[in-house]
Amino acid sequence: MHNLTIKQMSEKLHAGEITSVQLTQHYLDRISKYDAELNAYVTVTPELAMAMAEEADRQLSEGTAGLLTGIPVAHKDIFCTDGVKTSCSSKMLDNFIAPYDAHVVTQLKKAGMPILGKTNMDEFAMGSSSESSYYGPTKNPWDHQAVPGGSSGGAAAVIAAGLAPMATGTDTGGSIRQPASFCGITGIKPTYGTVSRFGIVAYASSFDQAGPMTRSAEDAAWLLDAMAGFDQRDSTSLHREKTDYAAGLNNSLKGLKVGVPAEYFGEGLDPQVEKIVKDAIAEVEKLGAEIVEVSLPNKDLAVPAYYVLAPAEASSNLSRFDGVRFGHRCENPKDLQDLYNRSRSEGFGAEVKRRIMVGAYALSAGFYDAYYVKAQKLRRLVRDDFTRAFEQCDVIMGPVAPTPAFNIGEKTDDPTSMYLADLYTIPVNLAGLPGMSVPAGFVNDRPVGLHIVGPYFSETKLLNIAHQYQQVTDWHTRMPAQYQ
């Protein structure tokens, strides 16, 4: 059952060939069997899942079901889920049972999707390997020595291993696309403002954006349909006409102009990854696309700018974790200052503390202009690069990450080398553009993704390109042998 596409699942559910209870139980069984080793879930919610599956079956039998009704989903543990622990993979929230649902969770509940559980991640979404989780690292299903990427590493792993048919993720600097690339799945980060941030524990508010993580582009289109939409509770949510993301999947790619930036194929890019990406672009060319050279000259400024701006926002966003109203509180605080200092020091892991401290420093008196304002200006330069590039092309293609998945423990001692692993994804977040990772091949049995970036609101186009590519390739259908 876990090899079906979402469309097939939906058809079988509606035809009564399978029930949601059977489907959900199938995934719960697989989780029991495999997740102890993989550590992709922080929390599994079998009772909730089965209750929702029964409700879905009722709707299916009554004929009131929607397309996704009965298809289970796994939520990244950054989405608040009413009555279920929402930890952000942090000791700080290890005891936090969210008293409300995130907008995305509400939407997917309305769509009738049983919740299998909450997936592991880098603590507070700060990381590129899912190793900074309080609950330990998630393993890459393709190679247990490797990281699944991050921060949505648990979500990518559960899709790759068939421990959920669909998963939600968030992407602040590459956190959907990079783990999708490392785990050989499809992931799309929509235009900033497409999916409501309400109820998503904030990392960096002007970058955070949620999106679907699935096997195929078609699956992603279906899930994005349910996730996206205006929400009045998020001031940055965009009020736009509802888009049918699946509607354009079968459009021809004839005449499509694909921009290839020289800067994305320079020093630091693994030659084998480069080959896979170039082959994938050639495949798209065969489908009728025209390749044009474009330039993103300020690409290298994106990483430092991001690591000023995102931590600056994070340092403020994470001030609410003070041991007073929720979350971890130290034992016997001797005074107020001690309550804050110790609760936060004990509750946050090393990387989170590091980013909070860096962010506080970047905003502090005397450094604000040199760091924060400067980085905001670079953000504009990076965005303007894309604007210019999209005058010459419809989409941009390149690598998602410079290498395939690295080994667990390989970069944990050197945070800055980890930061540089996001050099291709970060510029997209600075600009707020939609970006996607599509499985495109393997290097030493570790997956590699093709990065597709489009202008604002071009999700339908990105999904269309990915879907067409997936009609002529089978990378997205492959599964690690032991999980088949």
Burial class of residue 176 in the structure, from the number of CB atoms within 10 Å of its CB (0-12 exposed, 13-18 middle, 19+ buried): buried
User: Is 312 one of the binding residues for other proteins (CB under 8 A)?
Assistant: yes
**Shortest Cβ 126–other proteins spacing (Å):** 13
Q: Are the C-beta atoms of 142 and 445 separated by less than 8 Å?
A: yes
Query: Around Cβ 337, how many Cβ atoms within 10 Å?
Result: 9
Considering only residues 444 to 463 of the shown chain, the ones binding other proteins according to CB under 8 A are: 456
Measured CA to CA, the distance from residue 105 to residue 80 in angstroms comes to 8
Q: Are the C-beta atoms of 235 and 269 separated by less than 8 Å?
A: no
Q: Are the C-beta atoms of 85 and 130 separated by less than 8 Å?
A: no
Cα Rg of the chain (Å, integer): 21
Pick from 324, 388, 445, 472: which binds other proteins (CB under 8 A)? Answer: 324
**Shortest Cβ 305–other proteins spacing (Å):** 6
Measured CA to CA, the distance from residue 330 to residue 315 in angstroms comes to 20
**Alpha-carbon 344 to chain mean position:** 26
Residue 175 falls in the annotated catalytic set: yes
Options 5-13, 172-180, 338-346, 399-407: segment touching other proteins (CB under 8 A): 338-346
**Shortest Cβ 454–other proteins spacing (Å):** 14
From 20, 129, 152, 175, the catalytic residue: 175
User: Is 97 one of the binding residues for other proteins (CB under 8 A)?
Assistant: yes
Measured CA to CA, the distance from residue 76 to residue 173 in angstroms comes to 16
**Which residue number, 52 or 80, has a Cβ lying nearer to other proteins?**
80
Pick from 202, 227, 389, 452: which binds other proteins (CB under 8 A)? Answer: 202
Measured CA to CA, the distance from residue 329 to residue 323 in angstroms comes to 4
**Shortest Cβ 277–other proteins spacing (Å):** 25
User: Is 118 one of the binding residues for other proteins (CB under 8 A)?
Assistant: no
Considering only residues 343 to 362 of the shown chain, the ones binding other proteins according to CB under 8 A are: 344-345, 348, 353-354, 356-358, 360-362
**Alpha-carbon 220 to chain mean position:** 12
User: Is 304 one of the binding residues for other proteins (CB under 8 A)?
Assistant: yes
Pick from 184, 323, 398, 447: which binds other proteins (CB under 8 A)? Answer: 323
Do β-strands 166-171 and 209-214 pair in parallel, antiparallel, or remain unpaired?
antiparallel
Considering only residues 211 to 250 of the shown chain, the ones binding other proteins according to CB under 8 A are: 232-236, 238-239
Element (H, E) at 352: helix 350-363
Q: Are the C-beta atoms of 352 and 123 separated by less than 8 Å?
A: yes
In 10-64, beta strands by DSSP E: 41-44
Considering only residues 354 to 413 of the shown chain, the ones binding other proteins according to CB under 8 A are: 354, 356-358, 360-365, 368, 371-381, 383
**Shortest Cβ 344–other proteins spacing (Å):** 5
Helix (H, G, I), strand (E, B) or coil at 427: helix
User: Is 193 one of the binding residues for other proteins (CB under 8 A)?
Assistant: yes
Pick from 201, 221, 256, 280: which binds other proteins (CB under 8 A)? Answer: 201
Measured CA to CA, the distance from residue 312 to residue 360 in angstroms comes to 6
What contacts 178, CB < 8 A, 6 or more positions away? 128, 149, 150, 400, 401, 421, 422, 425, 437
Pick from 59, 109, 145, 333: which binds other proteins (CB under 8 A)? Answer: 333
**Shortest Cβ 359–other proteins spacing (Å):** 8
Options 106-114, 215-223, 342-350, 464-472: segment touching other proteins (CB under 8 A): 342-350
* Total of residues contacting other proteins (CB under 8 A): 99
User: Is 100 one of the binding residues for other proteins (CB under 8 A)?
Assistant: yes
**Shortest Cβ 8–other proteins spacing (Å):** 34
From 20, 76, 132, 461, the catalytic residue: 76
**Which residue number, 214 or 315, has a Cβ lying nearer to other proteins?**
315
Options 170-178, 182-190, 199-207, 388-396: segment touching other proteins (CB under 8 A): 199-207
**Shortest Cβ 239–other proteins spacing (Å):** 7
Phi and psi for 316 in degrees, rounded to 5? -85, -45
Place of tokens 């067409």: 468
Give residue 145's region: left, alpha or beta (phi > 0; psi -120 to 50): alpha
**Which residue number, 15 or 365, has a Cβ lying nearer to other proteins?**
365
Residues with a known catalytic role: 76, 151, 175
